[in-house]
Amino acid sequence: MPTPLGDLAILDFSRVLAGPFATMVLADLGADVVKIERPGTGDETRAWGPPYDSRGHATYFQAVNRNKRSVAIDLHSPADVARLRELANESDVVVENFRPGFLDGLGLGYEDLRCENPTIIYCSITGFGRGAGANLPGYDLLVQALGGLMSITGPADDEPQKVGVALVDVLAGLFATVGVLAALRHRDRTGQGQRVEIDLLSSLLAALVNQGSAYTIAGVVPTRMGNAHPSIAPYELFETADGELVVAVGNDRQFQSLCKVLELSHLALDPRFQDNAARVRHRGELRAELERALSCRSAPAWAEELNAARVPAGVVNDIAGAFALAESLGLDPVVELPPREAGDPVRLTRNPIGLSATPPAYRAAPPSMPAYGGN
């Protein structure tokens, strides 16, 4: 089956999450990715467990490394560094997330490689850029804190909270993927390679969207609101007679339908709740009215009735429930790959990109730790 990036060779110096996520997305689209790992230990996430699969491999590493080949390289070996230069000269794209300047010291920086391979796309992922923040450690939790995300996550009267997954790394990986594809398109037109630079802090700030523009345009510094929304109401979590229910009302029609289902039609005529701006101003009073009505039935029962009335609502699934929902909707959320070693198939989350002519391909499970022969 043809793939959109089947003629692309990528040399992947990256470790942990942001870079490997980007190169896995590109590999799913057909690129030949050679992952460079430290002899003996490999990518740090090979040791990040539990949980582990039936062969004792960390599931963290496997999440972002399918469809790749892996080679053990000692960056302290001149012979290995020379081999890397050869690989770079044969590659279309290099992806790296070392401390800024580290690869330059080995003769593997962008300026070094472009002299021998002018068409190279060189993607660098850092925590805080190559300038004044070059020496700051780029860990997702730290960026969530410094980048403001924790200040708007969690209950208003509790401590700041991180998001339950390394979201900033994932966002940076997605921005890196877009940047590489844009650079490749430019190269197709001009024959010129270029440097692609992504940093975690800028990726997070860009992803703050409405919370960011609240500050940049209106000077409003958002704060933690739990599950409530700063600009929409009702758009939050409610307790029911059994379980929690999310209600996400985005317009007046949906609010009127919500009130009808809850037998609170008079609220839709109340001046305090007639439009979204009014509902936001009086969100506390509205919440009290809705909670009283919702307390008589279970979350699943309310979700079914509200969805039938075209009011966005749903229960709070755990991860197993989320995968089960996707399966029930025919979204095929899991792909199975034959293991590189004896054992059970490797079950991984499907790439969500749907392409009618050149869909993502699942060619190989994440690589085992490569052997190193030394030089």
Instruction: List CB contacts of 359: < 8 A, sequence separation 6 or more.
Output: 1, 353
Measured between alpha carbons, how far is residue 268 from residues 181, 235, 263, 271, 363 in Å? 48, 16, 11, 8, 54
CA distance 374 to 80: 9
260 has which bridge partners? none
Exactly one of 32, 53, 80, 169 is catalytic; name it.
Answer: 169
Tokens standing for residue 181 = 């594809």
Which residue blocks in the chain are alpha helix, DSSP H?
A: 18-28, 59-63, 78-89, 110-116, 140-146, 167-190, 200-207, 209-218, 252-261, 276-281, 283-294, 299-308, 319-328
Neighbours of 354 (CB within 10 A): 9
CA distance 34 to 229: 43
User: Is 169 part of the annotated catalytic residue set?
Assistant: yes
Q: Give catalytic residues, as residue numbers.
A: 169
